[in-house]
Amino acid sequence: MQRLAIYGKEDIRWEIGRKPEPDIGEVRLRVKYVGICGSDLHYYFDGTNGENVVREALTPGHELSAVVDFDPSDELTPGTPVTVHPARFGPEVPGLEHKPYLRPGGDYLGSASTMPHRQGGASEYLVVRQDMIRVLPAELPLERAALAEPFAVALHAVQIAGNISGMSVLVTGAGPIGLLTVAAAANAGASRIAVSDVNSAPLARAKELGASEGFIAGRDTIADEAYDVVFECSGAAVALSQAVRAVRRTGRVVQVGILPNTEIGVNLAPILAKEVTIHGTFRFSSEIDEAISILAKSNRLDVVITHVIPARDAVSAFDIAKDASASAKVLLDI
């Protein structure tokens, strides 16, 4: 079989690997599409993702759609369309019974956080535990189904924010997660959604997903105290400073974008006089099931997918995915 493998900074290869064999309780999938995520970009362009360093060949990819190839238990028929919840949760921890994604000791597809690395989905064949599989509705195309994992991240962020029905919302950063957060906020009943980004093209996509206002960051003025909830999706320090200015008194800021693992300059002074709450958000628990249901009902989110590129052209695909002015979600056609 063929697979993608990252060996280090800007060293990715479409190479031959061994076809995996599933044990009882596992299923082998024939992967069809894999989305390129921000963590995949870091692994390729930097050789690291935060503290996680590529120390052996790493197959990236945790956003995927596939069909069943072989199930030793015969519970899933070959050809059944599926996606995968990419997490294996760690041991139970008191106080985290309802938040298994926060438990230490787990792993995630396409991650160098453990050694050996947890290999990802950018491979012709992938073996996963049966409980990680989600069977797709017949009306959900496999291309769109590759959005289930990142859309679940966005739905989880909105869930962390609480009830936003009838509220005004600002989303800072209109990359794939920001765009999907716009869609998640619209689905949750937000009355007004504004988006900011350094590029104009993502703002146009955001309006197709329910945003009514768009701001070019660094050029346009965003009014102070104008929004009930702000979802910060860029991971930029300046955007977090903007978020705490833009949110109203007693409002909520949800930090969705991954902040750099270092000291950064952020002005948080406004949170004091306004009693603003800042929430972190991390991956998701069961929201992937809701994501699948929403994706099956409408093609509206197809605007997030801007490119589908053969996996053998991975260097070009990663270059395009890195250019936020030219792309949103880039899928690898496996």
pLDDT digits (tens, 9 = 90+) for 15-42: 999 999 999 999 999 999 999 999 999 9
Q: If DSSP codes are grouped into helix, strand and coil, which group holds residue 163? A: coil
Q: Evaluate whether 149 touches 288 at the Cβ level (below 8 Å).
A: yes
Mean pLDDT, to the nearest integer, of 104-128? Answer: 97
**Residue among 178, 234, 231, 252 nearest 209 (CA):** 178
Residue 50 confidence (pLDDT): 82
Q: What is the pLDDT, as a whole number, of residue 54?
A: 97
**Whether residue 51 has pLDDT greater than 90:** no
Average pLDDT of the segment spanning 231-238: 96
Q: What is the pLDDT of residue 149?
A: 98
- pTM above threshold 0.85: yes
What are the domain boundaries of the chain? Answer: 2-135+299-333, 154-280
pLDDT at 308: 98
List own/partner pairs for 217-220 with CB under 8 A and 24 or more apart.
217/172, 217/242, 220/196
SS3 assignment, position 8:
strand
Residue % of the chain over a pLDDT of 70:
100
Q: Tell me the per-residue pLDDT of 81-107, one tens digit each, with 9 for 90 and over.
A: 999 999 999 999 999 999 999 999 999
CATH topology of domain 154-280: Rossmann fold (3.40.50)
Helices (H), 125-235: 142-145, 148-161, 176-187, 200-208
pLDDT of residue 261: 80
Q: Mean pLDDT throughout 109-134? A: 97
Mean pLDDT of 222-227: 98
pLDDT at position 143 = 98
Distance CA 218, CA 232 (A): 15
The angle that helices 38-46 and 314-322 make with each other, rounded to 10 degrees, is 110
Q: Which of 143, 135, 2 is nearest to 59 (CA)?
A: 2
- Would you report the helix, strand and coil content of the chain in percent, each value rounded to 5? 30, 30, 40
Q: What per-residue confidence (pLDDT) applies to 260? A: 83
Averaged over 211-220, what is the pLDDT? 96
Query: Would you give the DSSP letter of residue 64?
Result: E
Q: Which class for 120: exposed (0-12), middle (13-18), buried (19 or more C-beta within 10 A)? A: buried
What span, in angstroms and rounded, lies between the C-alpha atoms of 61 and 35?
7
Average pLDDT over residues 141-153: 98
Main-chain phi, psi angles of 33, to 5 degrees: -135, 145
CA dist 226 → 7, 202, 231 (Å): 46, 22, 13
Distances (CA, A) of 170 to 63, 222, 248: 26, 10, 11
Tell me the per-residue pLDDT of 269-290, one tens digit each, with 9 for 90 and over: 999 999 999 999 999 999 999 9
Q: Do domains 2-135+299-333 and 154-280 have the same CATH topology?
A: no
Q: Under a CB-based contact definition with an 8 Å cutoff, are residues 41 and 318 in contact?
A: yes
**What's the pLDDT band for 150 if we cut at 50, 70, 90?**
very high
Question: Is residue 187 classed as helix, strand or coil in its secondary structure?
Answer: helix
What is the fold, at CATH topology level, of the domain defined by 2-135+299-333?
Quinone Oxidoreductase; Chain A, domain 1 (3.90.180)
Q: Can you give the pLDDT at residue 262?
A: 83
